[in-house]
Amino acid sequence: MTSAPIVPGPVTVRVPAKVNLELLVGPRRDDGYHSLSSVYQALSLYDDVTVGEADEWGVSVSGTLAEGVPTDDDNIALRAARLVADRYDGEPVHVSIRKGIPVAGGMAGGSADAAATLVALDHLWDLGLDREELEEMAAELGSDVPFLVAGGTAMGSGRGEMLAPVLTRGTFHWVLALAEGGLSTPAVYAECDRLREGTDVPEPVATPALMAALRTGDPHELAPQLVNDLQDAAISLRPDLGEVLSDGMEFGALGGVVSGSGPTIAFLVEGTEAGIDLAVALTASGAVRDVRRASGPVHGAHVIHHRVD
Ligand code: ATP
């Protein structure tokens, strides 16, 4: 008697968003990138990415936040799939993305989908990739992609892709204020360069006080350490963000910072109760498009379902 061949069914990977607790932007390098010192934290706001074998390459996107995500070769998840296929002789796949991470919000949603696709294909094709191989392909796809594979809390240097884990204690609670529209990351960097023209910009180095605050697990210690060198540029392009920041602080946040290149603003709060209160107040103010609560650190891209028929 012959048994039916085992067909690897689609793999679903859950991947978090990130917030930058500290984003220090150094001088513009010759290759056009800026040297960065970034302390990332992975937050419990997720995209679910399902990758399965298909007759042709494709990508589809669902969820209330799906608007603005390309469904052609511009989608970074599809680029990730093709990269792995080129290296390991893979056949076409279809990538289905359920968006829970705001698009163009400074929370690395696209990078997250790329990270999830790498992890999904590692399982689907049973590649047995080690951490180094995954991180190397991730870095090729984008500066934030390696962190979304790793998760937790980490320090990134170079373009942000050279990672070192950071020791933290406990769980931090966040309220994310989502703004109308998005901000283009290159436009925010260009505005940052314009605002700093003529000033001497030092090489960025992570702040020891931030590391110490993370080790205490105390949000009161962490709040004053939140910093983002792109914040002035984001507010210069979107002055309404300055108002949302001051509203959030007035409504009881311990600290607030523009996430990455914006326009999402991340507010640190004392705990779950305080998070609910702030979310209600921000929603009632009408100054934001939507509000989400999240906590961190959480794990990076991880398989949540693998059907084998
Ligand atoms: P970052 O924080 O890394 O700068 P972001 O969160 O501001 O990124 P993304 O959500 O990654 O921004 O989207 C930026 C742009 O990338 C979108 O406007 C969209 O055109 C494009 N894009 C390509 N693939 C994806 C994807 N899978 N999900 C979201 N956006 C994507």
C-alpha of residue 217 to centroid of ligand 1, in Å: 31
- Are 160 and 38 in contact by the 8 Å Cβ rule? The answer is yes
Tokens read off for 114? 């790329």
**Number of alpha carbons in the 13 Å side-chain half-sphere of residue 45:** 28
For the chain, the residue count is 309
What is d(CA 175, CA 285) in angstroms, rounded to the nearest whole number?
A: 15
CA distances from 5 to 32, 92, 93, 309 (A): 50, 20, 19, 9
* Ligand 1 center to 183 CA (angstroms): 10
In the set 48, 122, 144, 247, the catalytic residue is 144
Whether the CB-CB separation of 297 and 44 falls below 8 Å is answered with no
How far does the centroid of ligand 1 lie from the alpha carbon of residue 97, in Å? 13
In the prediction, which pLDDT does 6 show?
A: 60
**Which protein residues are within 6 Å of ligand 1, measured from CB?**
68-70, 74-77, 97, 103-111, 113, 144, 182, 185, 260-261
Query: Residues 207, 22: contact at Cβ < 8 Å?
Result: yes
Judge whether 109 is annotated as a binding position: yes
Residue 217 backbone dihedrals phi, psi, to 5 degrees: 75, 10
Q: Looking at residue 8, what is its pLDDT? A: 73
110 is annotated as contributing to ligand binding:
yes
Q: Are 11 and 50 in contact (CB under 8 A)?
A: yes
Token pair, residue 30, equals 């010759």
Show the tokens assigned to 105: 């919000």
- For every one of its 309 residues, what pLDDT tens digit does the chain have, with 9 covering 90 and above? 556 656 678 999 999 999 999 999 998 888 888 999 999 999 999 999 999 999 999 999 999 888 889 999 999 999 999 999 999 999 999 999 999 999 888 899 999 999 999 999 999 999 999 999 999 999 999 999 999 999 999 999 988 788 999 999 999 999 999 988 888 989 999 999 999 999 999 999 999 999 999 999 999 999 999 999 999 999 999 999 999 999 999 999 999 999 999 999 999 999 999 999 999 999 999 989 999 999 999 999 999 988 766
Counting from 1 in the atom list of ligand 1, the atom nearest the Cα of 259 is: 2
State which amino acid sits at residue 2. Answer: T
C-alpha of 116 from chain center: 12
pLDDT of residue 28: 87
- Whole-angstrom distance, CA of residue 38 vs CA of residue 6: 44
Q: Is 30 marked active-site?
A: no
89 is catalytic: no
pLDDT for 209 equals 97
Residue 19 has a pLDDT of 96
**Which domains are delineated in the chain?**
8-166 (3.30.230.10), 172-296 (3.30.70.890)
Cα–Cα nearest to 17, from 104, 124, 126: 104
| Confidence at residue 309, expressed as pLDDT on a 0 to 100 scale | 62
Ligand 1, atom nearest to 102 Cα = 10
Look up residue 299 and give its DSSP letter: B
Work out the widest C-alpha separation in the chain, in whole angstroms: 79
Q: Is 105 annotated to bind ligand?
A: yes
Give the nearest ligand 1 atom to 184 CA: 7
